[in-house]
Amino acid sequence: MSFKKFAERFGLSTAEKPINPSLFGDSLAEQISWEPLSPGGTNIRSRKLTRSEPHLLELAPTGGSLSAGAAFVLFAVLFVVERLYKGTLVILELLPVSIFLFLGLGLLLRASMVTVFDQRSRQVAGYFGVYGDEASWFPIKRTVPFEAIHAMQIIREKISRQGEGYYWSYELNLVLKDGMRCLVMDHGQLQGLRKDAQTLSRLLDIPLWDATLQQEGYPRSSD
């Protein structure tokens, strides 16, 4: 029995708890959106914060985020190699195989985009999305000065699977002083996301507005 059916049978609510931005004690928190920038997030730990140089922190892709694209590419390559080895390759088969190949390469390229926090130049550079970018599969590269960033935002989204199950996906967004939000990453592991976000909030000396703490009934934010 799914959790949803169990909850319905025993009269338990599965509705999302509302977010109260006023609890963050900042007027900008009440002006920005608390909806996901990119609906339909991942259920894996997509990125991990690493220090590549003494002055550089990078949100680099994990093996899990690269595996889907690699699987498509590997399938396409092995299919063609097998057919060539057996001498049974049909030209018409190359069309669907090429779709798998280019889809896999696209997934790999998108997953491998790195966001860099440079303490020397005091700016963030990366292919992070802003509102409206969901129509574009590949966000453009942007550079944001540390001084333009007001806070960081963590929000969650319930993603329904085909069938009856669901999972939680989490977003880490930069909140700029003009109210614009920049999507830094989608993530499927809350504790890993929180740890990285706390490190970045200390680096940038800005508050971390973690809406998931409200929804779980814990203290409102980490400053």
State the Rg of the chain over Cα: 21
Rounded to whole angstroms, the Cα distance separating 151 from 220 reads 14
Q: Residue 161 to residues 72, 126, 141, 157, 166: CA-CA distances in angstroms? A: 21, 30, 31, 13, 5
What 3-state class would DSSP assign to 150?
strand
Nearest to 222 by CA among 6, 10, 23, 15: 23
pLDDT for the residue 81: 86
- Please check whether residues 56 and 74 belong to one and the same domain: no
pLDDT digit string (tens) for 9-51? 444 344 567 899 999 999 999 999 999 887 666 666 677 888 9
Clarify whether residues 163 and 199 are in a common domain: yes
Domain range holding 179? Answer: 3-12+19-61+115-216
- 27 and 80 together in one domain: no
Confidence of residue 6 (pLDDT cuts 50, 70, 90): very low
The 10s digit of each residue's pLDDT in 72-103 is 888 888 888 888 877 777 777 788 888 888 88
The model's pTM: 0.72
Clarify whether residues 163 and 71 are in a common domain. no
- Does the residue 222 lie in any domain? no
Classify residue 140: in a domain, yes or no: yes
Tell me if 46 sits within 8 A of 61, measured CB to CB.
yes
- Hey, how many other C-beta atoms are within 10 angstroms of the C-beta on 34? 16
